[in-house]
Amino acid sequence: MAIPKLELVSHHLCPYVQRAVITLLEKDIPHERTYIDLSNKPDWFRQISPLGKVPLLKVNEEILFESAVICEYLDEITPGSLHPADPLQKAKHRSWIEFGSNILNSIAGFYNAPTKESFEQKCEELASKFFWIEQSFKGGYFAGEAFSLVDGVYGTIFRYFDVFDTIGEFSIFANTPKVEDWRQLLQSRSSIQYAVTEDYAQRLLIFLKQRNSYLSIALLDDL
C-alpha cells in the first residue's frame, strides 16, 4: 500500500503523541511533525480536533484522533505488525495499553499531589500498578522476543521515571525487578529514545516546577 502524506500534530511532552511517533519510527514511515502549544491552541487546530487533544494525524486531508486508533492505522498500512496475530493475545495487549493510560493518570496524580500524604499515596498506587505487571511478566519485551505496540506505551511511561530519578528516590520499582529490567531494555530502543526531542528532560522539569504541588515545592525547589 502506498503511504499517504502524513502529518502528526504533536506536543513535546505528550506520552500519547510518543506512542504514535514510536510506531512511525518502528515502521520507518515518512511523516512530518508539527508541535503545538496546548496552553494556547492554534485556531487551525481547534477547527480540526474534535476533542482538542493531541496526537492528531492528518492523512492527506483526513483527520485521525486517539493514539490507539492512530497507532493501529499506521501499523496496518505497513508490512509486518506490532500487534500479535492471535485475537486473544491482541486483545490482551490492548488491555495492557489501557492499563498504561491508567498509569499515566496516576503519574499525573503523583506530580500534582498537593500534600506529602497524597504524594506518598500516589507512590504506593504506582508501585501497586507496576506489581500487577510484574506478576505476569515473563521477561524480554512484553511478548518475549518481538517489540510490540504495548512496549512503546510503557517506554513512554518509564521515561517519566528517568526524570523523576534525578529528583529523588521514590522506590516505585523496589518490588518489581522484572519491570525494572523491562524498563532498561526499552530505554535502549532507538524508537523510544527518538520519540522525544533532545530537550525533553529540561522541558519536563520546567513543567513539573510549575505544578505548585508537593513534588514541585518540596523536592524541586533546589534543582
Ligand X SMILES: N[C@@H](CCC(=O)N[C@@H](CS)C(=O)NCC(=O)O)C(=O)O
Residue that has been written with the C-alpha cell 493510560 in this structure = 101
What is the CA 77 to chain-centroid distance, rounded? 22
Catalytic center residues: 14
Among 9, 22, 24, 55, binds ligand X (CB under 6 A): 55
**SS3 (DSSP) at 214:** helix
Residue that has been written with the C-alpha cell 525494572 in this structure = 180
> Smallest distance, Å, CB 11 to ligand X?
6
> Smallest distance, Å, CB 101 to ligand X?
7
Across 5-129, the runs of DSSP E, i.e. the strands, are 6-10, 32-35, 56-59, 62-65
Among 67, 106, 176, 213, binds ligand X (CB under 6 A): 67
- The sheet carrying 56-59 orders its strands as 32-35, 6-10, 56-59, 62-65
Among 16, 119, 161, 170, binds ligand X (CB under 6 A): 16
From 47-55, 147-155, 195-203, 212-220, give the range in contact with ligand X by CB under 6 A.
Answer: 47-55
Binding status of residue 71 toward ligand X by CB under 6 A: no
Binding status of residue 66 toward ligand X by CB under 6 A: yes
CA–CA gap between residue 86 and residue 96 (Å, rounded)? 16
From 9-17, 119-127, 178-186, 203-211, give the range in contact with ligand X by CB under 6 A.
Answer: 9-17
Beta strands 32-35 and 56-59 are: unpaired
From 52-60, 155-163, 172-180, 199-207, give the range in contact with ligand X by CB under 6 A.
Answer: 52-60
User: Which residues of this protein are in contact with ligand X, per CB under 6 A?
Assistant: 11, 14, 16, 38, 52-55, 66-68
